[in-house]
């Protein structure tokens, strides 16, 4: 089992080859000492505010954390049958919030068809404003179960972020017109 920080840096290094990482957080649960890493990223050409972004996260429970710190690589070989060294790397793509965009289902279907191995799901988070106007934010979520030698394989991370950058680019290209209209309309002077 590789160390938490080593996996975090492998993911960060691979992500920077394809995307612009704008936030990185490490969360440590005070009592259990479980650790979680979250990296937020977007396409290099997108400037704040980021209409489309992705978050890649993984966590180690306390046993995995101590296992990765205390044991040498040789010990891992002997202990592997007694320890689950799998890590779930979760990818969440935050889709742009655009009112009246009605082609989201088609776009999601295209992504599912192009990347069937990812087994992505589309999640809608509904919210209500004070004026009782209903809205929603959409996310595409998928994950990888990584373990053993794959945790150390740089090629795996390169492929993961190459796919993610292609998915983000496809979404951005399809929604750019609507993003420009709805996100930047407030910047225009409507007084004429």
Token reading at 18: 């394809």
Residue 19 has pLDDT above 80, yes or no: yes
Token reading at 32: 């259990």
Distance separating alpha carbons of residues 131 and 177, to the nearest angstrom? 28
Distance separating alpha carbons of residues 121 and 112, to the nearest angstrom? 9
Distance separating alpha carbons of residues 75 and 1, to the nearest angstrom? 10
- Extended beta strands in 43-186, E state: 53-60, 87-94, 121-128, 134-146
| pLDDT for res 69 | 59
Distance separating alpha carbons of residues 101 and 112, to the nearest angstrom? 19
Domain boundary assignment for the chain? 4-187
Residue 47 has pLDDT above 60, yes or no: yes
First-to-last C-alpha distance (Å) of the chain: 64
Check: CB of residue 16 under 8 Å from CB of residue 8: no
Is the pTM of the predicted complex or chain greater than 0.95? Answer: no
Q: How many contiguous H segments (helices) and E segments (strands) does the chain have?
A: 5, 6
| pLDDT for res 60 | 93
| pLDDT for res 49 | 87
Distance separating alpha carbons of residues 63 and 79, to the nearest angstrom? 13
Dump pLDDT digits (tens) for 124-134: 988 776 665 56
* pLDDT band of 142, cuts 50, 70, 90: very high
| pLDDT for res 79 | 46
Token reading at 71: 């044991």
Across residues 124-153, what is the average pLDDT?
83
């Amino acid at each position: 089992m590789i160390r938490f920080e080593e996996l975090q840096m492998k993911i960060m290094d691979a992500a920077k080859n394809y995307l612009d990482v704008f936030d990185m957080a490490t969360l440590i649960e005070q009592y259990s000492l479980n650790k979680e890493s979250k990296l937020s990223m977007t396409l290099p050409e997108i400037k704040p505010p980021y209409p489309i972004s992705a978050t890649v996260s993984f966590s180690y429970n306390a046993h995995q954390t101590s296992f990765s710190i205390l044991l040498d690589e040789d010990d891992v070989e002997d202990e592997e049958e007694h320890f689950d060294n799998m890590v779930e790397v979760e990818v969440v793509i935050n889709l742009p919030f655009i009112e009246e965009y009605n082609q989201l289902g088609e776009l999601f279907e295209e992504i599912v068809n192009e990347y069937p191995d990812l087994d992505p799901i589309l999640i809608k988070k509904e919210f209500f404003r004070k004026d009782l106007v209903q809205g929603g934010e959409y996310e595409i979520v998928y994950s990888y179960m990584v373990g053993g030698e794959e945790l150390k394989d740089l090629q795996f991370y390169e492929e993961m972020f190459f796919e993610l950058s292609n998915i983000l680019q496809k979404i951005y290209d399809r929604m750019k017109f609507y993003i420009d209209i709805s996100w930047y309309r407030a910047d225009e002077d409507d007084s004429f």
